[in-house]
Amino acid sequence: MKSKKDYTYIDLFAGAGGLTIGFGNKGFHLELANDIAEPALDTLKHNLKNTHPNTPQQNVVLGDIKELYEHLGTENVDYEMQGHMVVQTNKEVELRKKAPSLKNDISSRKLLSEIKHVDVLAGGPPCQGFSMIGRAKKATLEDRTKGFIDDPRNQLFKYYLKFAEKLSPKLVLIENVKGLASASGYRDLIENSLANTGTYGYNTSSKILNAKDFGLSQNRERIFFVGLRKDLSEKHGMTADDIFDQIIIEKKDSPKLKDVIFDLPVINPNPKPNNYKENSEYSFSNPASFGKNISDAAYTSLVNKKGKSAKYRTLINTYQGKLIKPKFLYNHKSRYHNERDRFIYTNLVAGKYLNDPVNELALSRVTYGVVVDEFGNKKVKGFGDKYFKLDPEGISKTIIAHLETDGNSYVHPGELPRSITPREAARIQSFPDWYFFKGNTRNQLKQIGNAVPPVLGGVFATAFKNTLDRIYEETK
């Protein structure tokens, strides 16, 4: 259904742009995107000409959300809450050191001052602070919610809600890891926090959804929270649950993994460690090729058109109703693997864990996490998928950011065993082939693993657009 008007949205914690593609594909106009990870935001900005040609590059803002928020209004925000110790990972600290300060940034101030309202606020703010909530189980929900919001470890989530409070979007979308749903009442706390945000508050609901149920070849469970502004919910007789009902009916069967990645060129493992420079690459036509970041041959000449892959390619490469074919093949470049890992990869049986008897030969070379039982049998303890070959007849495991570190548990099941490339990971995540990832091979994998699958983002965008259309039609 074509939208009755142009709807706007803000994407916070935008990363490489999974939700940005999903919402842009359904016609939403991007007012602002923000993240603190520069390579991921470079990727989003680089692709903006295709995803949101009417959004200026400067509307993609690199920096701390806390500093960005202060340009949205005149008041400063209290950073210190209840005297708790601020807990940050080393990676968070490093990201903040690298990111430019937005405190006195005139362009950000001008941009934020011009945004008075948006239809949708979307993003995946990190949520932590489990231990504190656990200690407060006997407290009232109101007290625990306040503690949750005020815990310094949840400052990023707090600022996400601050944007909702300030801009009163009609709809709010929050994505997070599945484990949050079972951690000390976290799910109720987040719903309650959103329900009491802003002038109107929000009618809220949450669901754990799996990407495999929406046409993706990936077992990826995440929790999604939806908020519909209470005044609109009451006026139009709609709820957040109604929106999830629209999403659930869009479920589709998942394709086999081989129909998602086997049409890409067969390549070798990279022969050298940290071998990222383009002048070390070989053409795809060279039998020794380990791939290229940007192919020297046309995309259409490299992608195998036989088999059942065409349907999936059409799905991911169609944007706003138009099938887009890239000029070149992007980000299909493998990493280096040592001799031991290559032996293990070769002898793994696809879809079987290391402790399965069929993987005895592969297990014989594994050195990490290995124990020997009383009968002299070698097993891995706690790391059964430390090495894992994906099943071409099934679906992939969850594509995660840890792929940046190693790809041992994401071994390609083709004729030349190696870990999957960024393009193969992007395919599994449903990113378009025309979407180019910036940064080196490892960082590309991190960006892809952190993203919301664009196709799933598009399912939410469609349901949100239908809801906004109804509001618009009944308000005229």
Compute the average pLDDT of residues 445-465.
97
Choose the weakest-confidence range: 176-185, 208-217, 309-318, 354-363.
176-185
pLDDT tens string 250-271:
999 999 999 999 999 999 999 9
Distance from C-alpha of 109 to C-alpha of 30, rounded to nearest angstrom: 17
pLDDT tens string 83-100:
333 444 456 566 666 777
Q: How confident is the model at residue 178 (pLDDT cuts 50, 70, 90)?
A: confident
Selected residue with higher pLDDT from 316 and 380: 316
Looking at the predicted structure, is the pLDDT value of residue 284 above 50?
yes
Compute the average pLDDT of residues 97-110.
81
Q: How confident is the model at residue 367 (pLDDT cuts 50, 70, 90)?
A: confident
Buried b / exposed e over 296-324, threshold 16 CB at 10 Å, is eeeeeebbeeeeebeebbebbbebeeeee
Please name each of the domains of the chain with its CATH number: 8-253+453-475 (3.40.50.150), 258-450 (3.90.120.10)
pLDDT of residue 371: 87
Looking at the predicted structure, is the pLDDT value of residue 128 above 80?
no
Compute the average pLDDT of residues 442-454.
96
Average confidence score pLDDT of the chain: 89
pLDDT of residue 7: 97
Q: How confident is the model at residue 454 (pLDDT cuts 50, 70, 90)?
A: very high
* Contact assessment for residue 425 and residue 401, using Cβ atoms and an 8 Å cutoff: no
pLDDT of residue 302: 97
Q: How confident is the model at residue 317 (pLDDT cuts 50, 70, 90)?
A: very high
* Contact assessment for residue 418 and residue 291, using Cβ atoms and an 8 Å cutoff: no
Distance from C-alpha of 413 to C-alpha of 400, rounded to nearest angstrom: 18
pLDDT of residue 209: 97
Distance from C-alpha of 284 to C-alpha of 291, rounded to nearest angstrom: 6
Cα radius of gyration (the chain): 23
Q: How confident is the model at residue 76 (pLDDT cuts 50, 70, 90)?
A: low
Nearest CA to 86 out of 185, 183, 156 is that of 156
Read off the tokens for 2. 């074509």
* Prediction pTM value: 0.92
> Which of 62-76, 303-317, 325-339 is the most confident on average?
325-339
pLDDT tens string 195-236:
999 999 999 999 999 999 999 999 999 999 999 999 999 999
Q: Three-state SS string across 358-421, please? A: HHHHHHCCCCCCEEECCCCCEEECCCCCCCCECCCCCCECCCCHHHHCCCCCCECCCCCCCECC
Using CA atoms, how far residue 407 sits from 153, 219, 425, in Å, is 30, 17, 11
Distance from C-alpha of 469 to C-alpha of 462, rounded to nearest angstrom: 10
pLDDT tens string 17-40:
999 999 999 999 999 999 999 999
pLDDT of residue 81: 40
